[in-house]
Structure 1
Amino acid sequence: MFLLILIFWSDNWEAFTKKLWDYLSMLLLHISDIHFKSPECLDVHQDPDRSIRTRMMRDLAEQVKEHGNVDAILIGGDVAFKAAKEEYDTAWNWIQELALSSGCSKKQIFVVPGNHDVDRSICKDQVPTQSAQTMIALARPNEREWRLKQQLEHEESGQSLLAPHAAYNDFAAPMGCQIWPDKPFWHQDLDLGNGVKLRIYGLTSTLLSGHNGKDDVKGSLYLGPRQTALDPEPNTVNLVLVHHPLDWLVDEDAVDDALSNRAALHLFGHKHRQRAVMAADYVRIGAGAINPSRHEQPYQPGYNLLNLEVSGTGQDRHIEVNLMQRRLQDAPERFVAIANMQGGDVFRASIPVPEEAPLPNLKVASPAVGEVETAIISKDLASVVSEKDAEAAMGEPNTRDLLYRFWQLTSAQRRKIAQDLNLIEEGEMRLPEPERYGRALIRAGERSLMNEVAAAVANLES
């Protein structure tokens, strides 16, 4: 009997260890610059870029056989080419194909905007948008942060600044990755295991993109400190997903310092150049374009696979990072591995994530006489903490499933749910839907009403 068990065990050892590895690690697919361009992309038989995307999917399917299913897809911007609705509709169909071929749930897809996700015609033709961008772009360095805050907090200017992202926001809302004036970036949590959370920050480098309808100039874009606060919570690994690399930002040095100190993983797009910096405390990765311009030289479509595994305990706990970069070669036309300096196929890093005690819970007691002002400040702080946690929780699988189902309802059905549960505040009905219901869903999380939202969605689906 023992011999039979041993034979069975040895025959299945490879499959067993592969399943165990898949369970203990997280595989991320990092892609960028897909550039769905209409009208060409609307006909699969005449889309000159379709073949490259198909080859990429087939190569990815082979990688999945070796490394396991993809757990999340991170898209670094430039999904569209001119921010047209039909480009996003076509892109979404392909992205679902990509998820299916990689074994990834379509609910585990995250995205940030790129410069091609900005409607430049709005930047060119709408004076309020021109004015908002110009006020920030021409501000003195010591006033730029204040100017951005001023424009975002002004009701009309804030909406004007985000207006060129309207089609992107419609596309991104089911993923919980839309942006609005007082939330120009998003963050969501995934469970890495072993007591560690992966917090994905989707930053927006495109608030000034398309200024006056023109191409962006290197060094002219702006993130600002509110996007790089990146709260270093205990037992949390911060991953930053952003379209533009640092040298495209006017606040390059400040952003570099913030990311280097507060985030372990930095993922960029835009340049169409695959690069990897495997430092002691962080990993910085550039994505190749899935579909660069066919006139671009060298023409090198590419994608990244990033495997994360938490190992060790206590002060010796680390996150092991294995990066595999794949690039198209032209003859024969197929994707191949980019070699590291030692000739291997994997770039490796080990980043310390020592175990830390959780922060104390914030408790707000009823104020005693003479303590009213302090209590008000504490309640405001409690609200901020609650909102942050509610948005981060959008990364949970059940919640992401609910997001997709909610956004598949009609506009009238979404409105009914939000109003029935009192999730819409005064004046919010005039906001764009991605912002209106994005606020409502976060509010539902803050008020512990997500089960009620789920029940209402299920009732309308039946």
Structure 2
Amino acid sequence: MSLIFVHLSDIHFGQEKGGSLHINDDVKERLLDDARTEVMKLSKQKADGVIISGDIAYGGKLIEYEIAGKWLDRLTAAVGCEITDVQVVPGNHDIDFDEITPITQSVIDEIIEKGDEALDKFLDREADRELIYRRFHGYRTFAEGYDCPLDSEGRVSKDHIFELAPNRRIKFLGLNTALICSKSEKEEGGLILGKRQHVIPIEPGLETIVIAHHPLNWIQDSNAAGRYIRKRARVFISGHEHMPSHKLEQTNEDADLVSLASGAAAPPKADDQYNYCYNILEFQWLEEEDALLLNIHGRMWDYDNVEFISDGNHFNNGLASYKIRCPNFRKEAGTEVNKISLQNIQHKCDEVSVNLDVKETPKEYSMGEEAEINLVLLKFFRDLTSGERLSLLIELGAIPNTWNETLTHGTERSAFNKLLAAGKLEQVHDKINQILHK
């Protein structure tokens, strides 16, 4: 069995001005056609999902994510996966720089100067956290819809697990390398992941693929974070520098790591050096070696024929294949879970300022119903306005109709989860459809 993902980075929706808008729009149209054609050439003939390693938008504005969402709906349809099968991490362009006030900038400058300890101090307090996280206001709801939440306490967000074979799984883990990106000129080598994002858990039968926007050389705590990535991850995917590269390194006697840096799907200035690029990633389990095979199909824009072709500049005839040794595969793995309950789809929200404790016994959902949960989550956060989300939550009793406080992002997600726990999935979906089809 293989798993196939279309991998994009640095799409930069919203960067286009004047005539370049038409060029970039045409490239994106051709990318849809090319991805459909190339995925169909593979044995599975459909993709399992789309991975975006940051910079979905250019200025972090809501309208940019609205445009991106519509295009991603078309991309997922083209490659044969569900519209919810998208994984995202934030990049520096997913920050709304208009939200960086002088106070915010001074806080970030202090964190850059003092490092981990200063970051921890600000993440410990809700008001300080919101000062940092409101820069992501457009990205935040967009990513939540794809169940790739930004953890407001600076921890690793939710992972996504796929099965290659019985007791052989891979986990995609997204990091927020843009946590303290700002107007500072000290970013290269000055960014901080924070200790809360360093740890990569170990689980028998499961190997980790890390997705980040910035390469490790942009991060000042990269030595500490890199130790976890090199020892516990099997693939590290990044973007940002707009230059494709890939390499395998031995990180232990029985373990390897592939580092894959992506080119830009839409570089700010496309030329011979920074071309339009994307990848198709194919993961397979090699039973005899109990290893992971990664095939990277590199695609690039051909200016002469104005279409995508195999990337022969950064790959051997457009393909790089790596056999990755996986020590966790050789450990005794646990049994597969066939049911999904609320706690499996819920991430922790400690910033809730209203009593949203679930009184009902959480309803258990089958794996078949999980698809509807994912679709409802996407529509709720990505497609509804903040006012429409508030009206829905009040009408269905998730929050009181006397609510007069600021509706924080964490409160919204907790209220949404309360409705699911009460078995109101169908009611939520019906209400969303009524709002969207007015």
Using the TM superposition, name which of 89-98 and 238-247 deviates more.
Answer: 89-98
Counterpart pick for 1:412 among 390, 406, 426: 390
Cα gap change, 1:428 to 1:305, in 2 (>3 Å): farther
Residue 183 of structure 1 and its aligned partner are, at CA, apart by 4.8
Separation in 1 of the partners of 2:9 and 2:145?
A: 19
Relative distance call for 1:173 and 1:239 in structure 2 (3 A) is same
Aligned residue in 2 for 1:436:
411
1:261-309 Cα offsets, whole Å, 9 max, x none, are 1111211000101111133522211111011122655131111111111
2:142 paired with 1:157: no
Q: 1:342, 1:297 → 2: CA distance?
A: 18
1:166 corresponds to = 137
**Residue 4 of structure 2, aligned match among 27, 35, 39:** 27
Residue 145 of structure 1: which of 102, 110, 116 is its match?
116
Is the 1:30–1:303 contact (alpha carbons within 8 Å) kept by the matching residues of 2? yes
**Equivalent residue number for residue 113 of structure 1:** 90
Residue 330 of structure 1 aligns with which residue? Answer: 303
Q: How far apart, in 2, do the equivalents of 1:122 and 1:177 lie? A: 22
1:268 aligned partner: 238
Q: Would the aligned equivalents of 1:187 and 1:200 in 2 still touch at CA under 8 Å?
A: no
List per-residue Cα deviations over 1:213-265 (Å, max 9, x = no partner): 34563111111221121111122221111100111111122222211111112
Summarize deviations over 1:154-193 as a string: whole Å, max 9, x none.
1211100111111111221211223142255412223223
1:85 deviates by 1.6
CA shift, 1:101, in A, is 1.5
Gaps of 5+ in 1: 1-23, 361-385
Q: Distance in 2 between matches of 1:336 and 1:291?
A: 16
Paired residue type of 1:110: Q
The equivalent of 1:189 in structure 2 is: 160
Map of 1:93 onto structure 2: 70
Cα distance change on mapping 1:348 and 1:437 into 2, 3 Å? same
Q: 1 CA distance for matches of 2:16 and 2:160? A: 37
Cα distance in 2, alignment partners of residues 259 and 389 from structure 1:
25
Q: Is the 8 A contact 1:38 1:87 kept in 2?
A: no
* SS at structure 2 position matched to 1:412: helix
Task: Write the letter of the residue equivalent to 1:326.
Answer: R
Normalised to the residue count of structure 1, the TM-score between the two structures is 0.76
Kindly tell me the number of residue pairs found equivalent between the two proteins. Answer: 392
For 1:279, what is the secondary structure of its paired residue?
A: strand
Note the 1:301-380 alignment, pairs <5 A.
Answer: 301-312=276-287, 316-339=289-312, 345-352=319-326, 353-358=328-333
Shift of 1:92: 1.4
Task: Return the alpha-carbon distance in structure 2 between the equivalents of residues 295 and 342 of structure 1.
Answer: 22
* Distance change (3 Å), C-alpha of 1:354 and 1:438: same
Which residue of structure 2 aligns with residue 10 of structure 1? none
Distance 1:46 1:191 in 2: 37
Amino acid at match of 2:134: A
Query: Are the structure 2 counterparts of residues 46 and 415 from structure 1 closer, same or farther at C-alpha, using a change threshold of 3 Å?
Result: same
Supply the distance in 2 between the matched residues of 1:344 and 1:327 (Cα, whole angstroms): 9
Report the Cα distance in structure 2 between the residues aligned to 1:344 and 1:158, rounded to whole angstroms. Answer: 44
Query: Counterparts in 2 of 1:245-260, with a 5 A limit?
Result: 245-260=215-230
**What is the rounded CA distance, in whole Å, between the counterparts of 2:415 and 2:286 in structure 1?**
38
Contact 1:73–1:109 at 8 Å: present in 2 too?
yes
Q: 2 CA distance for matches of 1:236 and 1:397?
A: 23
Match of 2:14 in 1: 37
**Kindly tell me: are residues 428 and 349 of structure 1, through their superposed partners in 2, closer, same or farther at Cα, counting changes over 3 Å?**
farther
- C-alpha displacement of 1:429: 5.6
AA at the equivalent of 2:88: V
**Match for 2:273 among 295, 298, 305?**
298
In structure 2, how many angstroms separate the alpha carbons of the residues matched to 1:405 and 1:329? 36
Aligned to 1:368: none
Structure exhibiting the larger radius of gyration computed from Cα positions: 1
How does the TM-score come out when normalised to structure 2? 0.80
Counting aligned pairs with the same residue, the percent is 22
Amino acid at match of 1:77: G
Of residues 100, 107, 131, the one that matches 2:106 is 131
Structure 1 residues 266 and 440: alpha-carbon distance in aligned structure 2, compared to 1, 3 A threshold: farther
Given that 1:38 and 1:86 are in contact with CA atoms closer than 8 Å, whether structure 2 keeps it comes out as no
- 1:104 is displaced (CA, Å) by 2.0
Residue in structure 2 matched with residue 454 of structure 1 by the alignment: 425
Task: Give the conservation status (yes or no) of the 8 Å contact 2:116–2:192.
Answer: no
How many Å separate the matches in 2 of 1:59 and 1:282?
Answer: 29
Secondary structure, counterpart of 2:132 in structure 1: helix
Distance 1:52 1:411 in 2: 34
SS of the residue 1:106 aligns to = coil
Q: How far, CA to CA, are the matches of 1:63 and 1:206 in structure 2?
A: 32
Give the whole-Å Cα distance in 1 for the aligned partners of 2:323 and 2:396.
45
Of Structure 1 and Structure 2, the greater helix share is in 1
Match for residue 286 of structure 1? Answer: 261
Distance 1:46 1:414 in 2: 36
In 2 relative to 1, CA 321–441 (structure 1 residues): closer, same or farther, beyond 3 Å? farther
Residue of structure 2 equivalent to 1:209: 181
SS in 2 for 1:82: coil
| Counterpart code for 1:404 | L
Name the Cα RMSD after superposition: 3.2
Residues 171, 390 of structure 1: alpha-carbon distance in 2 compared, 3 angstrom cutoff: closer
Distance 1:413 1:217, change over 3 A: same
Matched to 1:327, the amino acid is M
Structure 1 residues 402-411 or 59-68, which shifts more? 402-411
Corresponding residue for residue 200 of structure 1: 172
| Native 8 Å contact 1:188 1:391 kept in 2 | no
